[in-house]
Amino acid sequence: MSTYESQSSKTIRGTQSFVGTMSWVWKHPLLVGLEILWRWLWGIPALWLTARTAKRILDQHPVDWTALQHASLLDPMHAAEVAGAIITVLAAPVTEALTWLLPLLMLTWVAAHTIGRTIVLHRIDAELIPRPATFLLLTLLRLVALALAFAVWWRSLLWSSTITIANPIAQGREPNLVGYCALLIIFSMGVFVLWGVVSWIFSIAPLLAVVRQLTAAQAIRESFRLGALRQKLVEINLVMGIVKITLIVLAMVFSATPLPFQSVATDSFLHTWWAGVTVAYLIASDFFHVARAVAYLQLYRRATG
């Protein structure tokens, strides 16, 4: 397969849009295959470990799922009581499990991302010299930033639930579920847009590190010195965010497609269908991850001549 550099003048550098970049990636499926390979080599064991841990917790701390199934938003007080009872049972064991599971998953993800993305980038451009230690530090920094963004989002949800659900219940009034859903959407979109605006730094910094042989600190510093290129990187990052939302919506739509035929469709068929939709979503997501990396390399090469 031709490398990114050998094709850049004909394919990548001759295009002026992200669509052209996706076309180049589409013509090089091995890149997407490598991306899928390293992500799934981490994801499948991680999913198995998470599922096994969840099963162990549920076996040791059984909850009344029947009551939850019969809960209705038309009776929010009863639904809140049922949800509260389940949370009371599971809060302690889940917290205990997360104290070791989350660090393990994060550290293994950093290692897998460093190795896998280094291989993919070298396949895109054979002249890139790997810097695994720098890449690892930058990946860890991105993960920490993502965790902070998630913490902000989670705290906003807790605050929203307090003022719309907990406080009204404590005062003997009906919880404001509509208000909670509205705040959920507002805060979710706000954090999403904020992450899209700032996370480009953590995507371009590893590329700068391998292209210019920089340390992690130097790569972060140089990310802020890209001038007019920053606007294009932010635009691509926001487009990627919109693409992710679109993929999620499409996955939800396709997942719901067989529901009208639930009376004749077997559980086995539904589970197979949902598994297929999930796999299709993950493959599409991996494709766009590669497309973004290629687009960033393309823009940087073009900007620096």
DSSP of 104-136: HHHHHHHHHHHHHHHHHHHHH-TTPPP-HHHHH
* Contact call for residues 298 and 13 (beta carbons, < 8 A): yes
Q: The tokens 């295009």 sit on which residue? A: 15
Q: What is the pLDDT of residue 71?
A: 65
Q: What confidence category does residue 16 fall into, taking pLDDT thresholds of 50, 70 and 90?
A: low
d(CA 99, CA 51): 16
What is the rounded distance in angstroms from the CA atom of residue 141 to the CA atom of residue 4? 27
pLDDT over threshold 80, residue 189:
yes
Residue 126 reports pLDDT greater than 70: yes
* pLDDT band per the 50, 70, 90 thresholds, residue 167: confident
Which of 41-45, 123-127, 170-174, 193-197 is predicted with the least confidence, judged by mean pLDDT? 170-174
**pLDDT tens digits for 88-113?**
788 888 889 999 999 999 999 999 99
Instruction: Tell me which amino acid residue 68 is.
Output: L
**pLDDT level of residue 75 (50, 70, 90 thresholds):** low
Q: What's the CA gap between 277 and 275, in Å, rounded? A: 5
Three-state DSSP state, 176: coil
Q: Looking at residue 174, what is its pLDDT?
A: 78
pLDDT of residue 158: 87
Model confidence, pTM: 0.81
The number of residues making up the chain comes to 305
Nearest to 159 by CA among 145, 179, 129, 144: 179
Q: 200-212 and 132-161 are packed helices; what angle lies between their axes, rounded to 10 degrees?
A: 180
Distance in angstroms (rounded) separating the CA atoms of residues 17 and 40: 29
Q: How far apart are CA 197 and CA 249, in angstroms?
A: 22
Report the C-alpha gap between 50 and 140 in whole angstroms. Answer: 21
Distances (CA, A) of 139 to 155, 217, 265, 270: 24, 13, 44, 37
CA dist 253 and 292 (Å) reads 25
Q: How confident is the model at residue 228 (pLDDT cuts 50, 70, 90)?
A: confident
Range 22-40 average pLDDT: 93
Residue range 46-75: mean pLDDT, rounded: 81
Helices (H), 61-173: 65-69, 76-124, 132-161, 167-170
